[in-house]
Amino acid sequence: MAYKMDRKLSDGAFDFVDSEKITGLLSGQGEDKVRLREIFAKSMEKNPLTLEETAALLAIRSEEGKQELFQTAKALKKAIYGNRIVLFAPLYIGNLCINDCLYCGFRKSSGGTVRKTLTQDEIVAEVKALQDEGQKRLILVFGESPVYGPDFIANCVKTVYGVHSGNGAIRRVNINAAPLDVAGYKIVKAEGIGTYQIFQETYHRETYAKYHPANTVKGDFMWRLDSLDRAFEAGIDDLGIGALIGLYDWRFEVMGLVSHALHLKEKFGVGPHTISFPRIQPAEGMNLPLPYKCSDEDFKHLVAVLRLAVPYTGMIMTARESPEIRNEVMHLGVSQIDAGTHLEIGGYSSHSEKQALEREQFQVGDTRGLDQVTGWLLGEGFIPSFCTSCYRAGRTGDRFMEFAEKGLINKFCTPNALLTLAEFLQDYASPNTKALGDALIEKELQKMPEDAWKERIKDNLRKIQTGQRDLRV
Ligand code: SAM
Ligand code: SF4
């Protein structure tokens, strides 16, 4: 029986995006060097920024100001997250959709789109293929349809966790699906999900109305804006926000994202776990004027400002971006990327190399496989991480914030990243990637003081060599 959604908003729901204030702040600021230095200093103390401060960073126009911003973002990222980059893959479960978002290849009016929902057996085949590449973290992606109710989503999560191919295991399943009601989120949470991610698409109401027809569920701006408040009410404290960059002025969207983060922190004591900033890509049958396209230069600006504004929030840059852009932007504060991405439904087990837009939501920019991306990251001096320790140790929401604010990320996360990397190198890597990875692990060990902690890490690394898996400190 199809799930009957209760369209009740969360307790005390309100539109926390103050468009007038945002527009005023964005139009009223010039570039003030003294003020900027103060804000950079505040950021380096790992303090979240206010909307006013964020607007000041968005007002930077000079090359010199931008370079200073980029250097600060790089330094802050290093101070909080070290040089780890967490890797994951999206798994598209189904593209049935009752909505008609003008930019999306899955929209209901797209006649050319091939519709498909994976069966549970097909999910098993996809997950096996993903595990055989070395993936440990997935995000399951769904269109919006009564077919994809909470029980269906929960069942997919259960199926994914149940698959084990060789040494493979998916240790964290995140979700990107339509907003649910409180009861629905509870059903999904009970299966042990990581992050529940929902993108607002645009925080600008008039633009929202332009791209999401009013006679569709997604046409209801408040239902979506309030969606993660309801998730929190249902006990999900690991939330992902995002905006689809290119629908409206990117500076406004940054202010919208920061407003959202501040709102969650104020209401629940915990900000979002991740922020995504996908740039709009070509999609099946899409022929839209996009006057607000965000240039590569502005994209770098956007990422650096977000890094400073929400220091403890993970930042996700997806494979929508090309390898060249990823290479540049990575250093400015990104903490997670997807790799080996296939958007075609069933695309991992069919091993299809070519992109076919009629079977995909949008065009992918980085089509490199997981081994290749891992090798590239190692070459750039990053530690590719498959770690899922925090979530499995119950360090989410305010417990994660406490952990982060005590500066424990580097103490625990770097070793755990190295342990998961060692597993990957042993089980899945090409000889070239393995050589790069082994050298990096050695280099990271050399940086650590000789103490019992280091001995414990080395002992775990030896155990991985002898075939033990899923070790963490
Ligand atoms: N259907 C659910 C929803 O709309 O929230 C969840 C999944 S939707 C498949 C995931 C995200 O893809 C959307 O929130 C949107 O931001 C993004 N997206 C849609 N069309 C896109 C395009 N042409 N280029 C880049 N990203 C796109
Ligand atoms: Fe459907 Fe989501 Fe695409 Fe909108 S973005 S058409 S809701 S799949």
Residue 229 CB–ligand 1 contact under 6 Å: no
Residue 104 CB–ligand 2 contact under 6 Å: yes
Nearest atom within ligand 2 for CA of residue 218: 7
The rounded distance, in Å, linking the Cα atoms of 79 and 363 is: 34
What mean pLDDT comes out for the span 341-362? 80
The domain that contains 144 carries what CATH number?
3.20.20.70
In the predicted structure, residue 397 carries a pLDDT above the cut 80: no
Q: Is residue 125 part of a domain?
A: yes
Residue 63, Cβ density class (10 Å: 0-12 exposed, 13-18 middle, ≥19 buried): exposed
Least distant ligand from the CA of 219: 2
Least confidently predicted of 221-225, 228-232, 283-287: 283-287
Residues 394 and 415 in one domain: no
Residue 97 CB–ligand 2 contact under 6 Å: yes
DSSP letters spanning 391-431: HHTT--HHHHHHHHHTTHIIIIIHHHHHHHHHHHHHHT--H
Residues 150 and 175 in one domain: yes
What is the Cβ-side half-sphere exposure of residue 329, based on CA atoms within 13 angstroms? 31
In the predicted structure, residue 394 carries a pLDDT above the cut 90: no
Residues 415 and 459 in one domain: yes
Average confidence score pLDDT of the chain: 94
Range of the domain at 268: 78-402
Instruction: Write down the pLDDT at residue 1.
Output: 58
Residues 382 and 318 in one domain: yes
Instruction: Write down the pLDDT at residue 318.
Output: 96
Q: Is residue 60 part of a domain?
A: no
Distance in Å, CA 145 to ligand 2 centroid: 10
Instruction: Write down the pLDDT at residue 2.
Output: 65
Residues 375 and 430 in one domain: no
Least distant ligand from the CA of 276: 1
pLDDT category of residue 473 using cuts at 50, 70 and 90: confident
Residues 82 and 224 in one domain: yes
Number of domains in the chain: 2
Instruction: Write down the pLDDT at residue 353.
Output: 67
pLDDT category of residue 406 using cuts at 50, 70 and 90: confident
Ligand 1 atom 5, closest CA: 178
pLDDT category of residue 419 using cuts at 50, 70 and 90: very high
The rounded distance, in Å, linking the Cα atoms of 168 and 128 is: 8
Say if residues 282 and 357 touch (Cβ distance below 8 Å): yes
Residue 141 CB–ligand 2 contact under 6 Å: no
Q: Is residue 15 part of a domain?
A: no
Nearest atom within ligand 1 for CA of residue 144: 1
Least distant ligand from the CA of 93: 1
What mean pLDDT comes out for the span 140-146? 97
Ligand 2 atom 2, closest CA: 143
Residues 457 and 339 in one domain: no
pLDDT in tens, 19-72: 999 999 999 878 999 999 999 999 999 999 999 999 999 999 999 999 999 999
Nearest atom within ligand 1 for CA of residue 286: 23
Residue 243 CB–ligand 1 contact under 6 Å: no
Residues 415 and 349 in one domain: no
Least distant ligand from the CA of 216: 2
